[in-house]
Structure 1
Amino acid sequence: MTGKKLLLKALKDRGVKYIFGYTGGAIMPVFDEMEKLENFTFVMSRHEQGAAFMAQGVSRASLSTGHPQIGVCMSTSGPGAMNLVTGIADAHMDSIPMLAITGQVATGVIATDAFQESDVVGVMMPICKQTYMPLYADDIEKTIHEGFYVATTGRGGPVVIDIPKDVQNAQVSHDYQFDPVAFRPHLPGYFYSPTPEREPLQRAIELINRSERPVMFCGHGVINSNAGQLLQKFAEKVNIPVAFTLHGLSAMPADHPLSLGMMGMHGTVEANRAILEADLLISFGMRFDDRVTGKLNEYAQNADVIHVEIDPSEIDKNVRTSVAINADVYRTLHVLLDDPMVTFKPRRRWLETIDVFRNVMAESLAAEIAHGVGTGNKLLMKTIIHQLSEVTQGRDLIVSDVGQHQMMAARFYNYQTNNSWYASGGAGTMGCSLPMAVGVKLARPDERVWSISGDGGFQMNAQELGTIMEHNIDVKIIILNNGYLGMVRQWQTFFFDGCYAGTPMQSPDFKLLAQAYGIPHRKVENLEDVTPALQEAIDHQGPMVLEFICDPTEVVLPMVPSGGGFEDMIVKHPQKIDKDLAGEGDAA
């Protein structure tokens, strides 16, 4: 047995179906062996960054299937490995388990600036959960299995394994033995607390039963532990409204009576104002990042905080905690649901107050969506997303890119399917949607997948249309084209006196681009054509590109200014605010 054979044997033993990547000199031995074995479906991305996001898509989408898969990407050394960096850093920020395998130059020339040599371990160490460089063929199989364990245990994350070319070809020693079934990694200092302790749970229950104005938070940990249904049952049992982080969306139906929608910088009025007024915050699987909290010294000043989090380093990092429960969200909710001390309270006054918050923007948003067009009769993104939600009944899988359209998709799609929303959160990586949608579709082939991008983000990884073409992957592709980097333009409108520096964008003819890859395209400019175009994409067997020409002046509100608190939330466009000050409208 050689190192490359053991590598592929270990991946097969771990149930890997797909390997995404791009070959090259230092990883060629593994590719040669993989071709002979025919155990995997190799999906060649057109750029290594695309491979990393495809692997992410598999990991993210399969969490709720009952058969979770770990996405695997593979590249050669030097520039190949460096092109994986953005996708790996993105997975690290969003706690996505995945395995990246890179070729490395032969051990004899490491640190000599050999052709296509780079310090992969040094570069990757700060942006992943663990890095390895096995130097003997005997170590490879164990390293793969340990890498899977580290990536998936506790808080998930990417693991990078950098394998020198000569180690791939080397034979194992004559007395080599390894039993993957009996293997248990020896990792001193690696702690994992899946089950909650009784004492903090008891204090948490006491706070919940006593509270008058509680709010429950649903973070990415709920999705990652496949605990959405448990969270919904618990919310109904205690009658507490739920606010969602960007990554917590789709854990329970978006139109559930207890749903407050997304919280934070572009969250709903009802979510943010409820947090301001709350006397108790119950957080499940989130890290209280700046996009959620706003100004920290003003956050949750009058509320106790219960924080359920699998990673102990996140507890008390940003927000003080009254009760800390370092445990898996699924197990914690399971215990809470079975506890007879947990009680239901009507909380009528609190829920009536929240209904008042809901009505602050409800009428104006409904009117804007119904009108459907903005400046120059160009389409509104929120109307397109709303109509997509209506046509699909909120049941399809949505893979968003990053920017203004991402917030529109987060806010105005009525998510009904558990774990049906995917986006780059912590890193905010433009260009993630198209390749990630490939992995999502391969992980859940029987469900319809929509990739939604702006004209800016789409062009960052548009080359992955080649992968979609080659494998005929049925992804419905939406480009919301407003000719600008929309989110930056919105900030420039609000905070930079409308100086649109670096945001106007000239795009290619997306129809010709789609045709070059053999993918049908439809350009939509009129409101009455939106729903028929969406239905045409649904009816078409295979991938299709829909390009919608959108109003560049559209904004997504409310918005909490960077560095501000929830009390600074903007609920009207600056132009409308100016009219109000002139006595031409009602104050916010």
Structure 2
Amino acid sequence: MTGKELLLRALADRGVQTIFGYTGGAIMPVFDQMDKLGHFKFIMSRHEQGAAFMAQGLSRASLSTANPQVGVCMATSGPGAMNLVTGIADAYMDSVPMVAVTGQVATGVIATDAFQESDVIGVMMPICKQTYMPLFVEEIEQTVHEAFYVATTGRGGPVVLDIPKDVQNVQVDKDYHFDTAAFRPALPGFYYHPTPAREPLQKAVELINRSERPVIFCGHGVISSNAGKLLQQFAEKVNIPVAFTLHGLSAMPLDHPLSLGMMGMHGTVEANRAIMEADLLISFGMRFDDRVTGKLSEYAQNADVIHVEIDPSEIGKNVQPTVAINADVYRTLHVLVSDPMLAGKPRRRWRQRIAEAREVMAADLRREIDKGVGDDGALLMKTIIDRLSKLTGGRDLIVSDVGQHQMMAARFYNYQTPNSWFASGGAGTMGCSLPMAIGVKLARPEERVWSINGDGGFQMNMQELGTIMEQGTDLKIMILNNGYLGMVRQWQTLFFDGRYAGTPMQSPDFGQVASAYGIPYRKVTELAEIEPAIQEAIDHPGAIMLEFVCDPSEVILPMIPAGGGFDDMIIKRPKAKKKKD
């Protein structure tokens, strides 16, 4: 067998069924062999970045299915591999397991600046869990199996295999044999602690039982370990409210009585004020990043912290825990839920404080959503997302791009389905939604998937409409078009005296773009058209694009200014400012 055959055999052994990518000279032997085999479903992206986000979508959405898969993308050397960088860095920041296979120039010309040569290993090393370059054909199968182990063990993340072209074509010695079943990777220093230790668990239970104003934090680790139901059972048992990170959303129903909604920079008043006043924070699978904590020197000053996290490097990195539990979230919650010493308390005064905080913005938000239009009569994103949530019952899969609309979708869609919210968080990559939604749909073909975009992010990867057209992918595409880079415009409104430098955006006729790809399209400008348009998309058996003309002056509040603390939270809409020269 040749190197390319061994590579594909190993991928098949790891359960890979779908491969996303774009061919080229240095990876051509693998693509040729893949076509001969006919074993894999190949999805051709229109840009390598799209392939990386498609692989991400497949990995993330399939976590909660009976057949979890690791997304795999392929690209050629040089520019092909470099175009994967953003998607791989995004997966690394958001702890998404995936494997990228790149072709490399032949071993004899490596480091000679050969045509389409780039230092893939050097570039990728800081933005993924591990990089490999097998230089001998006998290394390929072991490398693939080790790559999948590293990508999926502990905290997930991307792994890169860079395979020289000549190694792909070399035949293995006839005595070569690799025992897949017996393979166990030897990785000194790669520690994994799935089961929580007894002593910190006992201390955690003591703190929980003693606390009067506790808050549970639900992070991405709850989603990654499929622990949403256990978290809900735990919260109900101890009668403690739950605040969600951006990536923790959809772990449990968002309208649960104990739900505080999203916390942090654009989180709810009730979540942020509860954190400010808490005496105990119980954190599951999150890393206390700056969008959650605000100014660290003022964060949780009067609270003990229980931090449950699979990655030991995250414990104490930003917030010093009182009790550190380096373990898998699912296993930790399983032990806690069954602990007879853990007790619930009424905490009536605490619940009353939270109820009061819920009302701070509730009436204003309801009036704004019901009004549905801004001062100039253009549609509000809040209203569009609210109507989408009601028409779908909060049960559909939502794949958001990055920007104002992302925060609107995080705040105003009532998530009911476990693992139904997908977005770029740590890297905040515009253009992620459309390709990621393709991967999500492939992972869960029986569920309805919405790709929600701003006019800016949509144009970064709208070429993937070609993939949707070719594959016949049933995606519901929404463009919330306010003619600006909306989130940056909001910052300019609040902190730059209304100088909208570099944010106004002229877009093409999205109707003609959709038509070019054979996708039905509807433009919505009136409040009364929102629900009929969404219902049309729901009823349509295939891809469809809806464009909503939105108010550029709309803001998403509350907002904690960058570098500010929770006491700096902005809850009132600023007065409109005129554009200055």
Residue of structure 1 equivalent to 2:344: 344
Specify every segment of 5 or more residues in structure 2 that has no aligned partner in the other structure, as ranges.
none
Structure 2 CA distance, aligned partners of 1:68 and 1:345? Answer: 38
- Listed as ranges, the matches of 1:189-268 within 5 Å are 189-268=189-268
Local SS of the residue matching 1:487: helix
| TM superposition shift of 1:375 | 2.5
Query: AA paired with 2:92?
Result: H
Tell whether the 8 Å contact from 2:315 to 2:324 is kept in structure 1 after alignment: yes
Structure 1 CA distance, aligned partners of 2:317 and 2:501? Answer: 36
Residue of structure 2 equivalent to 1:580: none
Structure 2 CA distance, aligned partners of 1:423 and 1:152? Answer: 20
- Listed as ranges, the matches of 1:143-154 within 5 Å are 143-154=143-154
Structure 2 CA distance, aligned partners of 1:327 and 1:181? Answer: 27
Residue of structure 2 equivalent to 1:509: 509
Specify every segment of 5 or more residues in structure 1 that has no aligned partner in the other structure, as ranges.
578-588
Say yes or no: does 1:35 pair with 2:35.
yes
Tell whether the 8 Å contact from 2:373 to 2:380 is kept in structure 1 after alignment: yes
The Cα offsets for residues 523-558 of structure 1, whole Å up to 9 and x where unpaired, read as 000000000000000111100000000000000000
Query: AA paired with 1:518?
Result: G
The Cα offsets for residues 368-389 of structure 1, whole Å up to 9 and x where unpaired, read as 0000000221000000000000
Local SS of the residue matching 1:575: coil
The Cα offsets for residues 481-518 of structure 1, whole Å up to 9 and x where unpaired, read as 00000000000000000000000000000000000000
The Cα offsets for residues 272-327 of structure 1, whole Å up to 9 and x where unpaired, read as 00000000000000000000000000000000000000000000000010000000
Query: AA paired with 2:276?
Result: L
Structure 2 CA distance, aligned partners of 1:6 and 1:49? Answer: 26
Structure 1 CA distance, aligned partners of 2:66 and 2:344? Answer: 31
Residue of structure 2 equivalent to 1:302: 302
Local SS of the residue matching 2:459: helix
Residue of structure 2 equivalent to 1:500: 500
Structure 1 CA distance, aligned partners of 2:323 and 2:5? Answer: 49
Residue of structure 2 equivalent to 1:324: 324
Local SS of the residue matching 2:376: helix
Residue of structure 2 equivalent to 1:76: 76
Tell whether the 8 Å contact from 2:553 to 2:576 is kept in structure 1 after alignment: no
Structure 2 CA distance, aligned partners of 1:487 and 1:189? Answer: 42
Structure 2 CA distance, aligned partners of 1:486 and 1:572? Answer: 18
Residue of structure 2 equivalent to 1:539: 539
Say yes or no: does 1:551 pair with 2:547.
no
Structure 2 CA distance, aligned partners of 1:553 and 1:372? Answer: 13
Residue of structure 2 equivalent to 1:466: 466
| TM superposition shift of 1:576 | 7.9
| TM superposition shift of 1:409 | 0.1
Query: AA paired with 1:168?
Result: Q
Residue of structure 1 equivalent to 2:388: 388
- Listed as ranges, the matches of 1:419-438 within 5 Å are 419-438=419-438
Residue of structure 2 equivalent to 1:269: 269
Structure 2 CA distance, aligned partners of 1:68 and 1:31? Answer: 24
| TM superposition shift of 1:225 | 0.3
Say yes or no: does 1:313 pair with 2:307.
no
- Aligned residues between the structures: 578
The Cα offsets for residues 418-439 of structure 1, whole Å up to 9 and x where unpaired, read as 0000000000000000000000
Q: Percent identity?
A: 79
| TM superposition shift of 1:182 | 1.0
- Normalised to the residue count of structure 2, the TM-score between the two structures is 0.99
Query: AA paired with 1:533?
Result: A
Question: Over aligned residue pairs, what C-alpha RMSD do you find?
Answer: 0.9
Query: AA paired with 2:432?
Result: C
Local SS of the residue matching 2:264: coil
Structure 2 CA distance, aligned partners of 1:306 and 1:173? Answer: 54
Residue of structure 2 equivalent to 1:568: 568
Residue of structure 1 equivalent to 2:24: 24
Local SS of the residue matching 1:42: strand
Query: AA paired with 1:105?
Result: V
Query: AA paired with 2:411?
Result: R
- Listed as ranges, the matches of 1:474-489 within 5 Å are 474-489=474-489
Relative to structure 1, the CA distance from residue 460 to residue 576 in structure 2 (aligned partners, 3 Å threshold; closer, same or farther) is: closer
Bigger shift: residues 371-380 or 111-120 = 371-380
Tell whether the 8 Å contact from 2:97 to 2:152 is kept in structure 1 after alignment: yes
Query: AA paired with 1:184?
Result: R
The Cα offsets for residues 219-247 of structure 1, whole Å up to 9 and x where unpaired, read as 00000000000000000000000000000
Residue of structure 1 equivalent to 2:61: 61
The Cα offsets for residues 317-361 of structure 1, whole Å up to 9 and x where unpaired, read as 000100000000000000001110000101111001000000000
Structure 1 CA distance, aligned partners of 2:558 and 2:105? Answer: 52
Local SS of the residue matching 1:108: helix
Query: AA paired with 2:184?
Result: R
| TM superposition shift of 1:66 | 2.6
Structure 1 CA distance, aligned partners of 2:280 and 2:548? Answer: 43
Local SS of the residue matching 2:451: strand
The Cα offsets for residues 58-91 of structure 1, whole Å up to 9 and x where unpaired, read as 0000001132100000000000000000000000
Structure 1 CA distance, aligned partners of 2:118 and 2:37? Answer: 29
Residue of structure 1 equivalent to 2:404: 404
Local SS of the residue matching 1:375: coil
Residue of structure 2 equivalent to 1:335: 335
Structure 2 CA distance, aligned partners of 1:478 and 1:181? Answer: 46
| TM superposition shift of 1:574 | 1.7
Structure 1 CA distance, aligned partners of 2:484 and 2:163? Answer: 42
Tell whether the 8 Å contact from 2:434 to 2:464 is kept in structure 1 after alignment: yes
Query: AA paired with 1:353?
Result: R
Structure 1 CA distance, aligned partners of 2:179 and 2:538? Answer: 47
Say yes or no: does 1:283 pair with 2:283.
yes
Structure 2 CA distance, aligned partners of 1:181 and 1:233? Answer: 37
Relative to structure 1, the CA distance from residue 524 to residue 576 in structure 2 (aligned partners, 3 Å threshold; closer, same or farther) is: closer
